[in-house]
Amino acid sequence: MDWLWTWGGRCFGYRDGDDLWTYNGKHVGKFYNDEVYDRNGQYLGEIINGNRLIRNKSKKSWRKSPFAPYGKRGRYAKYANYAGYAMYAGYEDFPKFEDE
């Protein structure tokens, strides 16, 4: 399990194998290498710098196969937020999920 933060520094959750989970235990994405896609197969973002999630604006229309998310897991204590990084041109911060 690898904990992940958004480019802006918000503790998001963790990667467990090829699955992305919020710290609240919601299965929100599937990884294909370092890119992550939502349950409908739509591009959500990617990992850069080892543990930061960011979204490449030019990939927003990319799609993969949809998947059925796993049931909710137990909640983990949220790690502290970090300082954000300066945004790269053509990118935006990783989306926020309502129960994050």
- Domain carrying residue 47: 2-93
Query: What is the pTM for the complete model shown?
Result: 0.91
Torsion of CA 36, 14, 97, 40, to 10 degrees: 30
What pLDDT, in 10s, does the model give residues 40-79?
A: 999 999 999 999 999 999 999 999 999 999 999 988 888 9
Is residue 99 a part of any domain in this protein?
no
In the chain, the number of structural domains is: 1
Is residue 38 a part of any domain in this protein?
yes
Is residue 98 a part of any domain in this protein?
no
Is residue 30 a part of any domain in this protein?
yes
DSSP 48-87: ETTTEEEEEGGGTT-B----PPPPPPPP-PPPPP-PPPPP
